[in-house]
Amino acid sequence: MLRRLITLCLKNWPLVALLTSAAMLATAHGFERIGGYAPCYLCLKQREVYWAAMAISALALIVARIKPSPRLSTLINFVLAAVFLFGAGLAAYHAGAEWKWWPGPSVCGGGASGGALQASDLTALMNGTAKIKPPACDTAAWVFLGLSMAGWNVLISLKLAGWSLASALEGRKA
């Protein structure tokens, strides 16, 4: 049963990658909109990886529908693996900044309250005197089982890269 599920995922990897990327983006937006966690610069950059993976996956599905090519499918799966590996590296950089192993990028703010804007904040915005700082990249906003969102993203991105690579290698056998 498990082997059949694995085979099904590998054969339909672009669709699985597209749906997984969409789920990751939905989760991130859920944390932002429902949970009230404002994303930092690196959080937003990590989302771009999933947008890119969705675009590549959608292209793969369209190409497979128009003119199926095992060679092209294999190439696209290798590209997806590279995209997800890049995402894992970006997330690892973010997690390292959160753990203070190295500094985050200079565009990241610090000391943001993360709370809702007050009327005085809006007045300051209109007057041009606001001192709003973006969320800090070096502070984990949420931690579960000892890992921040960036830490979990490392693991998930590595898993997605592994599945992409496995699908590409499986396609080379066909």
Quote the domain boundaries for residue 72. 13-109+137-173
Q: Is residue 117 part of a domain?
A: no
What average pLDDT does the structure give for the chain?
84
Where residue 112 falls among pLDDT bands split at 50, 70, 90? Answer: very low
pLDDT band at 172 (very low <50, low <70, confident <90, very high): low
Give domain status of residue 162, yes or no: yes
Of 166 and 109, more confident: 166
Question: What's the number of domains the chain is made of?
Answer: 1
CATH assignment at residue 101? 1.20.1550.10
Q: What percent of the chain clears pLDDT 90, i.e. is strictly above it?
A: 43
Q: Which of 48, 27, 58, 57 is nearest to 90 (CA)?
A: 48
- 8 A C-beta contact, residue 135 and residue 141: yes
Each residue's pLDDT tens digit, 44-98: 999 999 999 999 999 999 988 888 788 888 899 999 999 999 999 999 999 999 9
2 lies in some domain: no
- As a whole number of angstroms, the distance between CA 57 and CA 113 comes to 37
Asked, for residue 159, whether it belongs to a domain, the answer is yes
pLDDT at residue 89, as a whole number: 96
Residue 67: inside a domain: yes
Specify if 40 maps to a domain.
Answer: yes
- Does 151 fall in a domain? yes
Residue 130 inside a domain? The answer is: no
